[in-house]
């Protein structure tokens, strides 16, 4: 693999993507594909990878609130869902020989190590994948905001948002066949156009701290390596 464009990245994965073809839970095939792509850029290119995974394949706090759950308890259930996904990814990485360490935003020892910026960076510098679970540890914050916060904290060069769509479009390409894709777009334009890339808190945090975002299709094996090589796939938010 050629020299990577970025040295340290924060990779945001959606919980929904882990469902694969199943429609619920964790698809072991998809999990294995993700683990393989992540190991490739760590072992072949020496990239330091921190990961935040959503929990939407198991439980989503906002949907729970809509069904009558207390919002705070719903968000806490969502945080636990991210821990389950993080443990699954950690297990898949370890199984193929890639060291990984799970950190939790709230103290859940021995399930994971209580998150601290310095311990996470230490893991990254030792060649381990640092999986940062539990969101921010607070309700009313999405995993998008959690990943923006962690990306800034661990001093990542870029935030990679792996989705099932190959970038940012003028409208939802799954619903509007006339939607066109952006190669590059500013944070402000994302906001003014009302594009559903990330929630506003996350976008504002990235903008204030000059953390660029690349939105790309993670479900196609090999795409993560292409992003690291600087190939123009996905959309850059700057």
Dump pLDDT digits (tens) for 181-233.
999 999 999 989 988 888 889 999 999 999 999 999 999 999 999 999 999 99
User: Residue 64 pLDDT > 90, yes or no?
Assistant: no
Strands 181-182 and 168-169: antiparallel
Is residue 120 a contact partner of residue 14, using CB atoms and an 8 Å limit?
no
- Our count of domains for the chain comes to 1
pTM equals 0.94
- pLDDT computed for residue 23 by the predictor: 82
Domain-located, residue 111: yes
User: How many whole angstroms separate alpha carbon 231 and alpha carbon 8?
Assistant: 17
User: How many whole angstroms separate alpha carbon 166 and alpha carbon 84?
Assistant: 26
Give the structural domain span for 66. 8-176+185-192+205-237
Domain-located, residue 1: no
Domain-located, residue 199: no
Domain-located, residue 113: yes
Domain-located, residue 161: yes
Domain-located, residue 127: yes
Q: What is the CATH number of the domain that holds 137?
A: 3.40.1160.10
Q: pLDDT tens digits for 91-123? A: 999 999 999 999 999 999 999 999 999 999 999
Domain-located, residue 15: yes
């Amino acid at each position: 693999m050629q020299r990577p464009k970025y040295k340290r990245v924060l990779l945001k994965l959606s919980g929904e993507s882990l469902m694969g073809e199943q429609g619920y839970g964790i698809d072991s095939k998809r999990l294995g594909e993700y683990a393989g792509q992540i190991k490739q850029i760590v072992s072949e290119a020496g990239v330091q990878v921190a990961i935040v995974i959503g929990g939407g394949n198991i439980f989503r706090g906002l949907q729970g609130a809509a069904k009558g759950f207390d919002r705070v308890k719903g968000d806490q259930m969502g945080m636990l869902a991210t821990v389950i996904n993080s443990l699954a990814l950690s297990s898949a990485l370890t199984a193929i020989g890639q060291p990984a360490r799970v950190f939790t935003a709230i103290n859940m020892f021995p399930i994971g190590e209580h998150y601290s910026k310095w311990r996470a960076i230490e893991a990254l510098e030792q060649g381990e994948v640092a999986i940062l679970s539990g969101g921010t540890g607070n309700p009313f914050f999405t995993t998008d905001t959690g990943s923006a916060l962690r990306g800034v904290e661990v001093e990542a060069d870029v935030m990679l948002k792996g989705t099932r769509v190959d970038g940012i479009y003028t409208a939802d390409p799954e619903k509007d066949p006339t939607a066109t894709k952006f190669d590059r777009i500013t944070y402000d334009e994302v906001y003014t156009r009302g594009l559903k890339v990330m929630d506003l808190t996350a976008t504002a945090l990235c903008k204030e701290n000059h953390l660029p975002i690349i939105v790309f299709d993670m479900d196609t094996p090999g795409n993560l390596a292409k992003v690291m090589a600087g190939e123009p796939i996905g959309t850059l938010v700057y």
